[in-house]
Structure 1
Amino acid sequence: MVKRQSQDPRHSGFRYRLAPGDRVRVTVFKVEGYGAETEVLSDGTINLPRIGSVNVWGMTLDEANNRITALYSAILRRPLVYIDLMAPRPVRVSLVGQVERPGFYTLSRDPSSSTLRASGPGLEGVGTVVNTSGWPTMVDALQRAGGITALGDLSNLVLVRRGNAPGEPSREYRFDYLSVLMGNGTAVNPLINDGDMIKVDKVEGVQSSEALIASAASNFAPDAISVNVVGEVVSPGVKQVKSNSPLTNAVLAAGGLDPQRAKASNIRLLRMEADGSILSRQVAFDPAAPLGSEANPPLRNGDVVVVYRNNWTRFNDTLSQAVAPLGPLLNAASLYNILTR
């Protein structure tokens, strides 16, 4: 069950709860040999002198303090126990929907460089490294997933957060960052808690060119996308262009149309959809067409732009192919005419 919340998640009464990976320090006031600095093990326990394993998984610091105090009270008179969080565990978050690399991420801070990196098998050195200062935020997590796609709806980002205590329903918070980018509103950048999920829905309808430009220029979008431009352009191949760039930008990045061979009215955009189908759309090259229009659609990572030949070039190429097999015969006949003169 999920509750929809409209208020700021900072005011939800969330309390940090201990889990495996947290490092804590337990001390007993003016009593030597009873404290320890230890890490919460995979079974949710910590090992303390004299009392052994104590299960603290899912407890707040106050609740863990009360349990440890009760256990020490069996062997000490009125113990005064302190428990401090020395190093929080990495933040595990899932990102789904219209992000470049949806999936599960573990965000751990590198204190020496103040960066967020993914950790886990096979993730060392892979993907985007996010510069940060402090606890990771929702924007940090989106950047770590490569940013939103051209179809991502910045006006309706959803943060799903687990309940404050075991058994409580999850809560949903919605954010409109598009209005902020357009200068029409304000929004918070909430801190990410362990177990959060961020959903980026697909935008409904056609976005305005102003919205596409604002999204592409923001840090929500990936730095660049790869587009393969083939056919009758000056420099065909894979080109790096900015996110949400229009089709004309990719053609210009390839040096523009070949003026002798290209047919400006016959450019095809090929795109593989999430369901495996291939989208094929024919457009005409028009640099003046508005961004987001049918004649100048925004590009996505992995798109293929094919520039076809004009009719005259096609005729010449066909004629050259037809005549090519006769080349040796024509050369031999020319040589014979020269020798018999």
Structure 2
Amino acid sequence: MNGAIVSLAPVVALGLFLLPSAGIAQVVDRTSNTSVRPTIDPSLPQSEDSYLLGSGDRVRIDFFNVPEYSGEYLVLPNGAVNLPQVGAVAVQGRTLKQASAAIAAKYEPYLTRPIVTIGLLAARPLRLAIAGEVNRPGTYNVQAVSASADTGVPSVTRLIQLAGGITQAADVRQVEVHRPRPYNTGADKVIKVDLWQLLKTGNLRQDLRLQDGDSIFIPSATTTNLEEAQRLAAATFGAPSDRPMRIAVVGEVNRPGPYILTPDQTNPTNQTNGSAVNPLPTNANLKIPTVTRAIQTAGGITQSADVRRVEIRRVTQAGPVQTINVDFWNLLQSGDLRQDLPLQEGDTIVIPTATALNDTEATKIAAASFAPDRITVNVVGEVVRPGPVQVPPNTPLNQALLAAGGFNNRAKKGEVTFIRLNQNGTVARRDVDIDFAQGLNDKNNPAMRNNDTIVVRRSGFTTVTDTLGAVLSPIGGVFSIINLLGF
């Protein structure tokens, strides 16, 4: 009888030792029935070496052969889980594997070789920050895993998208991810990311998966690569093209000032007077506004424009203004679309004044898509309808005469005087023999530029000056020029 009692005592003691102590925080689910246990979501990050636990995570902890302790637990605001027998165990900043080891170590005084496994039931939202060359810098709370296939696990490009996309001034080769070290021991770990490699080669390792507390910094580029600018504007993490954009166009355009470009370009607005601007149909369907589109909206360039030295002045998030030079003559000559730079909010386009322009270049520029679709030619003297006429760019002199109704019965029909005010302030004047059978040529049927003047004299010895005052009164400076030339 005494032997039986002695042999049973260790068993009873062990059974009592394994029972949970009174007063320990209650476990959400301690049932040993596996059919009602919470299911581990396979879409959640279960990798033991990647996901770091934190406050708000909901986990399933299983103790091998100890179902009383197994169940669902919440990581508390202090970063710990409250467990039977041992109380609080810190898991903040630990991987699932590290947390399992820490919990097993806590139970070693109570269990023989405890085996603990942890699965993630529900991940907490991640708190992330982004600064630098994005449209909406700041902090964001992001679900660790989204049911949407378009979002998925938070990554560098996903956070950039949430922040409104990169600006055109971003240096995507030098993106930095600052990652806090566990328990804030030491300075943040800085991870370099090259998003240009992601675009160029599809290197997904550059699209780093983010962790709670990560912050992203996107620096400003020191120079702008025109070829890369086109690809960055079309990237999935570029700025969306569905929002109105405020820009300004100044210098040698017909309607300089600030403008709002709408996404479909159906109703761009001039902010100077609030009036709607009729868009040019050739550019109506562009999604990403470019320099050409802005110039068209501003009425096109003037005849004095220097298209070789167009400037885009861009304010960066860091403060300094970038100046980007584009050469629209290359765009006209060789179709170099890199020169048609994509724009961003706040850009200013500056069209300088040309110091010299030969007739061949002027003719080609006048026919460009960013030139105005109509020019004004002043036809004075003995024509049916003297005064300014609106004609397409590069209209021959003969056609401009016909647009004014042609010669009247008092005109000297064999010859007219052609006057042009040059960019350098000089005035060119020459007599041109009229032959309506002539094609376009510089000598007898030159192409018209904006504000050119054609003077048709009377036949005989009578000068044209007696009627010029009445004819030219709405034209302004043309009358003064003709007087200076001795008419």
Could you say which TM-score interval applies, normalised by the shorter chain? 0.5 to 0.7
Within the candidate set 439, 459, 480, 1:310 is matched to: 459
- 2:249 corresponds in structure 1 to 95
1:154 aligns with 2:307: yes
Give me the whole-angstrom Cα distance separating, in 2, the residues matched to 1:176 and 1:273: 19
Whichever residue aligns with residue 371 of structure 2, its letter is A
TM-score of the two chains, using structure 2 as the length reference: 0.42
Within the candidate set 284, 304, 309, 2:431 is matched to: 284
- 1:136 corresponds in structure 2 to 289
- 1:200 corresponds in structure 2 to 351
- Deviation readout 1:129-148 (Å, 9 max, x if unpaired): 55133121111101001111
Give me the whole-angstrom Cα distance separating, in 2, the residues matched to 1:244 and 1:149: 13
After TM superposition, list the pairs within 5 Å mapping 1:1-341 onto structure 2. Answer: 15-18=133-136, 29=143, 89-110=243-264, 115=266, 117-118=268-269, 120=271, 122-128=273-279, 131-163=284-316, 165-167=317-319, 169-183=320-334, 187-209=338-360, 211-245=361-395, 247-258=397-408, 260-262=410-412, 265=415, 267=417, 269=419, 282-286=429-433, 296=446, 298-301=448-451, 304-312=453-461
Whichever residue aligns with residue 16 of structure 1, its letter is V
Give me the whole-angstrom Cα distance separating, in 2, the residues matched to 1:280 and 1:140: 32
Give me the whole-angstrom Cα distance separating, in 2, the residues matched to 1:87 and 1:281: 47
Q: How big is the alpha-carbon RMSD for the aligned residues of Structure 1 and Structure 2?
A: 4.9
**Is the CA contact 1:99–1:200 (under 8 Å) kept in the aligned structure 2?**
yes
Unpaired stretches in structure 1, ≥5 consecutive residues = 1-13, 31-55, 61-65, 67-77, 318-341
Give me the whole-angstrom Cα distance separating, in 2, the residues matched to 1:172 and 1:86: 23
**Is the CA contact 1:224–1:241 (under 8 Å) kept in the aligned structure 2?**
yes
TM-score of the two chains, using structure 1 as the length reference: 0.57
**Is the CA contact 2:330–2:339 (under 8 Å) kept in the aligned structure 1?**
no
Give me the whole-angstrom Cα distance separating, in 1, the residues matched to 2:311 and 2:268: 23
Give me the whole-angstrom Cα distance separating, in 1, the residues matched to 2:315 and 2:142: 33
Identity of aligned residues (%): 29
Shift of 1:189: 1.9
**Is the CA contact 1:98–1:201 (under 8 Å) kept in the aligned structure 2?**
yes
- Deviation readout 1:277-328 (Å, 9 max, x if unpaired): 9x86543134669867799474215x5543222335569x9xxxxxxxxxxx
Q: Greater strand percent: which structure?
A: 1
- Deviation readout 1:6-61 (Å, 9 max, x if unpaired): xxxxxxxx933239xxxx9x76539xxxxxxxxxxxxxxxxxxxxxxxxx99x98x
Whichever residue aligns with residue 308 of structure 1, its letter is R
User: Aligned with 1:100: secondary structure?
Assistant: coil
Give me the whole-angstrom Cα distance separating, in 1, the residues matched to 2:314 and 2:440: 39
- 2:158 corresponds in structure 1 to none
Greater radius of gyration (CA): 2
Give me the whole-angstrom Cα distance separating, in 1, the residues matched to 2:413 and 2:369: 36
Unpaired stretches in structure 2, ≥5 consecutive residues = 1-131, 145-162, 168-177, 179-211, 215-238, 467-487
Give me the whole-angstrom Cα distance separating, in 1, the residues matched to 2:333 and 2:240: 41
Give me the whole-angstrom Cα distance separating, in 1, the residues matched to 2:394 and 2:268: 25
**Is the CA contact 1:137–1:189 (under 8 Å) kept in the aligned structure 2?**
yes
C-alpha spacing 1:204/1:244, structure 2 compared with 1 (3 Å) = farther
Between Structure 1 and Structure 2, how many residues are aligned? Answer: 254
